[in-house]
Structures are given as structure tokens and as C-alpha cells.
Structure 1
Amino acid sequence: MTSGRKEEYIATFKGSEYFCYDLSQNPIQSSSDEITLSFKTLQRNGLMLHTGKSADYVNLALKNGAVSLVINLGSGAFEALVEPVNGKFNDNAWHDVKVTRNLRQVTISVDGILTTTGYTQEDYTMLGSDDFFYVGGSPSTADLPGSPIQHESTFAEDPMF
């Protein structure tokens, strides 16, 4: 008998620590995606996750205390900035982020309340990545495509994949 509940793992990143997974042996090729994670931090800026390079990528970050999402499927980016009504998300409390994509339609919600929906540009619908999948930071976050982060920053995160 199974409970149907996913196991949860907590990863804490301090200083310049981050998680990196090489996708070259098992590339991502998808027309729909779901990313669910929780995070808490006092940092105003930091990379939550990134995969892809050049024109095919997903970048989820904290920018000035708001959640930033940039997805490009090769023909132009969908960008969303989710800000709380009062305060910022860098309040050292747990926040839940959910990103879903079906073909070109992208929805991001934070804490199940603040939701933004939009579309990637043009007709491309597939996300392809054979590069690295980063969580919590990267060797050069400011250089990642779609990154709103101008300097390196990592923070505690609780990814649930």
C-alpha cells in the first residue's frame, strides 16, 4: 500500500554551494513540464533553478525579493515577475512555487495564491536541454541566459521533483 505522497528532501545551500546535474546523457525533450519547489531565504536575489543554453532554457530565480521566471523555447521568452502584495518573498518563511507549461502556455503560482499565466512567443512548443540542470546557484549565474541575477547568490531551498 502506498500513500501517494512524494518524498520530500531539503537541500541547504550556503555561500557558493549549488546542485548541478549533467543532462548530456539523458537530455530533456518535452512539450509539457511541471516544476514544484519550496524555498526560504533572507537573500533578495538568487537562482532557484536553471536548465538550458542559448535559446532553449528555463530560469527561475528570486529578483529583489520577487519570484522571476523566464522560459524560452527558441523563439522568444515568456517572462513573469510574481510579487507579494505586502513585503517580499525573502522573509525567511517557506514559500511554494509551481510552474506548469503545456506547449506554449505557462503558469506560475506562488503560495497557491499569486498566479501569472502567459504564452511563449511564436510557434515553438518543445523544450530541449542537453546542458546542465542547476539548483540553488551555478558557477556563473549572471551569465546564464534569461538570468535576472547580476551577481552570484545561493540560498536554502526545498526542491520537490
Structure 2
Amino acid sequence: EGSDYLNVAIKEGCLSLTMGLANGKQEMQIKPNKVRFDDNQWHKVSVHRRIQEISAITSFCRLSAVVDGVYADHSHIAGKFTMLSSGRLYVGGSINTRALPGARVHNNFVGCMRK
């Protein structure tokens, strides 16, 4: 399915996102002052990815995330891509997270998830 991926994790109390693309990777962390997301409370996470074509050979990818409708961050990268070449989304780890190019989290998620 290609080497692209989107990894969502909680690391040291903050939300960590890494998106690996053929042209590079995007990383971001949402780490508000005096707020942790590993607090045994439910948190709602929304992740959005938007591609804007700048020219025939260059696109602009914006990755944004919001936690609880309040805490937000975004990052962007330019390159030649139109989509993730993978349907894989990892939450809290993957089959082999250390093998994902650029991933800085480990398979250690303990907690609950709900739809």
C-alpha cells in the first residue's frame, strides 16, 4: 500500500500526529499549558488533511487537528502528492511503529477508544 501513513498517539500527555508522505513527513503536537490528554477523561480528536494544488508539479498539504473543540494546531508541507498512498491510520501504535519512517512513538497505548 505504499509507505505513506498517518499516526495519531498520546505522548507525554499531549496529542502527537505524524503523517509520512513520499516527499517527507509532517509532525505536530498539541500540548496546551496545564492540560494533559492522559488524564483518564474522554477527549474528542478531529484530524483533517487538505491538499491544494499550486501548479502541475507542486501541491500544498495542510494537516490540522483539534482536541475537544478547543486545542488546535496545524502543519504544512509542499511537494508532489495528491493523496495518501495508503488506507492505513494508526491510533496509539501500529504493527511495527518503529519501522514507520519518522515515527517517534512506540506501541504502548493503554486506554479506551470509542466511535
Structure 2 distance, partners of 1:73, 1:152, is: 21
**1:64 correspondence with 2:21:** no
**Partner of 1:127: helix, strand, or coil?**
coil
* C-alpha contact (below 8 Å) 2:93/2:108 kept by paired residues: yes
Q: Deviations over 1:104-146 (max 9, x none)?
A: 121111111111122133232210116x554444343333333
Structure 2 distance, partners of 1:67, 1:134, is: 13
**1:155 correspondence with 2:103:** no
Written as runs of structure 1 = structure 2, the 5 A alignment for 1:9-158 is: 53=3, 56-103=4-51, 104-129=61-86, 134-149=90-105, 151-158=106-113
* Residues 138 and 76 of structure 1, relative CA distance in 2, 3 Å threshold: closer
- Alpha carbon RMSD of aligned pairs, Å? 2.2
Paired-residue identity, % = 36
Structure 2 distance, partners of 1:127, 1:88, is: 30
* C-alpha contact (below 8 Å) 2:8/2:91 kept by paired residues: no
Structure 1 distance, partners of 2:27, 2:93, is: 20
* Residues 137 and 108 of structure 1, relative CA distance in 2, 3 Å threshold: same
Q: CA deviation at 1:159?
A: 4.2
Q: Which runs of 5+ in 2 are unaligned?
A: 52-60
Q: Which amino acid aligns with 1:106?
A: L
Aligned residues: 106
Q: Which ranges of 4 or more aligned residues in structure 1 deviate by more than 6 Å?
A: none
Normalised by the length of structure 1, the TM-score is 0.56
